[in-house]
Amino acid sequence: MTQEIITLKKMTNLFNQDNLLSASEILKKFQNWVIFAHKKIDGDAAGSVSALFTIGQNLGKKVTWLGADKDLPISYKFLANSDKFISCESLNFNEPETLYIFLDCSNYERAGIEGFSRDKNINSLNIDHHEDNTLFAQINCVDGQASSTCEMLYRLFKAGNWQITREIAESLYTGLCTDTGGFIFSNTHSESHLMAADLLSLGVDPSRINNLIMKNKTPENFKLWARAFERVKILDKIFAVSYLSANDFTETGAEFSDTTGLPAALMTLRDIKFAVMIYEYTNKEISASFRSCEGSPFCAGEFARLLGGGGHERAAGASFDGSLNEVIDKIENFLTSKYHECSCINK
């Protein structure tokens, strides 16, 4: 396969049939599909793999779902084919007749699986909606304007004329709904609602999906959030910073996936324009989530990239080495110094 870049630009290209058809042709060509999404899987990542997995199955393909997480979070276990998820740390990317498909990964390291390299002649397809995607695969379908990877798959399935069954519609709706924060974030467009309307007509029950994804918090989850809320620190009146240590997870009995929604909750604080949530896992791996809104001196994506991470304009993240206290200090200092730099420039 020759190196090829398919960039699905702005929403005006929403129905660019040529690009979508090329992606669907590649998928048709390979009998074996191996699908990955990013580590610390979220609703869009899990929904996209589930949807594409089921399409592949209906097309008679041999499909495998691999991921670096130990297991799928319980909230996504209702998704079609979620029982096929296989935890995997490394892989030989040279099986014959096999297409390796990365979903919702802005770079291949996000999948967290050793063995992939952009230099190798690996049959690979990358479908993603992060504007900072590194176009690491042989075929790259990237649309930074799409609300979610699920929205891109929806367009792809329509272009390929592949039947969207009720269970596929549920998977696509899960990604659309979670990545738009329930149709309220700034990545929500009229196209998102039109897609949702179509998915509802295909049998999706929004209240059922909402209950499955959102209405499943545990007392442990609440205890974890309480610790994060107790520690919120406000800097320069517009920044909110909080953290969770490895001990917090152990002592409350909460899971890492219980942090979903916490950065967005910090953003509901009055006057806050930028929120930082820092997490330490048991193995001393530290990461942070960044969120920004209109009025912030810098956007979350830009801030994350300066710290070696990435993501979207208003929702981004990064990973760090060092102790939790060092990382908290580093982020707080960077936040305030960058803010004062910006205010100097604006004076």
Residues that bind ligand 5GP in the complex, under the rule CB under 6 A: 38, 106, 130, 263, 287, 289, 309-312, 315-319
CB of 191 to Mn ion, least distance (A): 15
Residues that bind Mn ion (CB under 5 A): 44, 104, 149, 179
Least separation in angstroms between CB 157 and Mn ion: 17
Measured CA to CA, the distance from residue 134 to residue 126 in angstroms comes to: 10
Do 111 and 100 form a contact (C-beta atoms < 8 A)? no
Partner in contact with 44, chosen from ligand 5GP, Mn ion, none, beta carbon below 5 to 8 Å by kind: Mn ion
Q: Is the Cβ of residue 106 or residue 242 nearer to ligand 5GP in the bound state?
A: 106
Of 295 and 308, nearer to ligand 5GP (C-beta) is 308
Encoded amino acid at 289, one letter: S
273 binds, among ligand 5GP, Mn ion, none (CB under 5 to 8 A by kind): none
90 interacts with, out of Mn ion, ligand 5GP, none, CB within 5 to 8 A per kind:
none
Tell me the CA end-to-end span of the chain in Å, nearest whole number. Answer: 53
Beta carbon nearer to Mn ion, 143 or 179: 179
Query: Is the Cβ of residue 107 or residue 242 nearer to Mn ion in the bound state?
Result: 107
Which of ligand 5GP, Mn ion, none is residue 69 near (CB under 5 to 8 Å by kind)? Answer: none
What is the spatial distance between Cα 181 and Cα 169, in angstroms, rounded to a whole number?
18
317 binds, among ligand 5GP, Mn ion, none (CB under 5 to 8 A by kind): ligand 5GP
* CA dist., res. 73 & res. 289, Å (int): 18
Q: Is the dihedral of CA 232, 235, 238, 243 positive or negative?
A: negative
The nearest distance, CB 38 to ligand 5GP, in angstroms, is: 6
Smallest distance, ligand 5GP to C-beta of residue 287, A: 6
Minimum distance from residue 152 beta carbon to Mn ion (Å): 10
CA 42 to chain centre: 6
Asked if residue 150 lies in contact with residue 175, where contact means CB atoms within 8 angstroms, the answer is yes
Starting from the edge strand earliest in sequence, which strands make up the sheet with 62-67, in order? 4-7, 139-142, 124-128, 98-103, 32-37, 62-67, 85-87
Report the partner that residue 258 touches, choosing among ligand 5GP, Mn ion, none (CB closer than 5 to 8 A by kind): none
Instruction: Using the minimum distance from each CB to Mn ion, give the nearer residue, 44 or 167.
Output: 44
- Closer of 227 and 312 to ligand 5GP (Cβ): 312
Annotate 105-159 with DSSP letters as a single string.
-SSGGGGT-BT--TTS---EEEEE--TT----SSEEEE-TTSS-HHHHHHHHHHH
- Residue closest to Mn ion (Cβ): 44
Binds 310, which of ligand 5GP, Mn ion, none (CB < 5 to 8 A, cut-off by type)? Answer: ligand 5GP
Please state, in angstroms and rounded to a whole number, the distance separating the CA atoms of residues 35 and 136: 15
Out of Mn ion, ligand 5GP, none, which partner does residue 43 contact, by CB within 5 to 8 A per kind? none
- CB-based closest residue to ligand 5GP: 317
Give me the least distance between CB of 144 and Mn ion, in Å please. 11
Exposed e or buried b per residue across 8-40, where buried means at least 16 C-beta atoms within 10 angstroms of its C-beta: beebeebebeebbebbbebbeebebbbbbbbeb
Residue 315: strand, helix, or coil: strand
Specify the residue, 130 or 227, whose C-beta has the smaller distance to Mn ion.
130
Report, in Å, the least distance between residue 149 CB and Mn ion. 5
Distances (CA, A) of 22 to 13, 118, 125, 166, 322: 15, 20, 11, 25, 44
CB of 29 to ligand 5GP, least distance (A): 28
Rounded to whole angstroms, the Cα distance separating 330 from 243 reads: 13
In the complex with Mn ion, which residue's Cβ is closer, 56 or 311? 311
